[in-house]
Chains A and B, each alone.
Chain A
Amino acid sequence: GENVEQHPSTLSVQEGDSAVIKCTYSDSASNYFPWYKQELGKRPQLIIDIRSNVGEKKDQRIAVTLNKTAKHFSLHITETQPEDSAVYFCAAKAAGNKLTFGGGTRVLVKP
């Protein structure tokens, strides 16, 4: 089955700096890669996703890149703000299969 590894597990950045979270996956059939943000005590919320037919996708301050050959994808947050502090989860999914999550990255943005 699919296995998703996520690094780092914690990330502390200064407000205004960039944050990068990296994930690797094992199933070469995976073709959908969403990212979720979870604030304390709340539900995970989809913030951006990418499919295997594109290499990069951007939405304002967040961007995701995908390298299918190396089987890794990354989340980039620029100009971080205190409200970006949360736990971020990457996930991978092959057609017809379950959504498998990485272990999560706790991001702390220091003012």
Chain B
Amino acid sequence: DSGVTQTPKHLITATGQRVTLRCSPRSGDLSVYWYQQSLDQGLQFLIQYYNGEERAKGNILERFSAQQFPDLHSELNLSSLELGDSALYFCASSADWDTEAFFGQGTRLTVV
């Protein structure tokens, strides 16, 4: 167990809908990363937060948004969902921006 908790584990929804994925980092970790992994693909960086502030942005679609709350948990919001958004969404956390990152179990999103 990495200590990073993601909910839900599985999510099935229809095209056009909106979903929210939640991530609780390891206790004390200030940095949260979100990654998207499509079937048999690599880890595509979406966005990083550090202590509540957006730190870095990757190829995140405008339909996607995220935030990190004062208690350091983070949410990734995906709207106007398309079939191609079906993927595993991973959250990772690290104590600081220069330390190792630990991944949660992921949320498997299926858009039908």
**Chain A residues with a Cβ under 8 A of chain B:** 31-32, 34, 36, 42-46, 49, 89, 93, 95-104
Contacts and interface: CB of A to CB of B under 8 A. Distances in A.
B97 A96 contact: yes
A32 B103 CA distance: 17
Given A98-B58, A101-B45, A46 B100 contact: yes
A103 B106 CA distance: 18
A34 B97 contact: no
B91 to A, nearest CB: 10
Nearest to A36: B103
Nearest to A9: B42
A43 B42 contact: no
Given A43-B90, A98-B33, A98-B56, A49 B100 contact: yes
B2 A43 contact: yes
6 contacts: A42-B105, A46-B100, A49-B100, A95-B98, A98-B48, A98-B55
Interface in B23-76: 33, 35, 42-43, 45, 48, 55-56, 58
A46 B94 CA distance: 12
A57 to B, nearest CB: 13
B13 to A, nearest CB: 20
Contacts of A93: 98
Contact of B98 (A36, A46, A96, A103): A96
Given A43-B2, A44-B90, 7 more contacts: A43-B90, A46-B100, A89-B43, A96-B98, A98-B48, A101-B35, A104-B42
A46 B45 CA distance: 17
Given A32-B98, A96-B97, A96-B98, A43 B56 contact: no
Contact of B56 (A42, A45, A97): A97
Contacts of B90: 43-44
A31 B97 CA distance: 12
A49 to B, nearest CB: 6
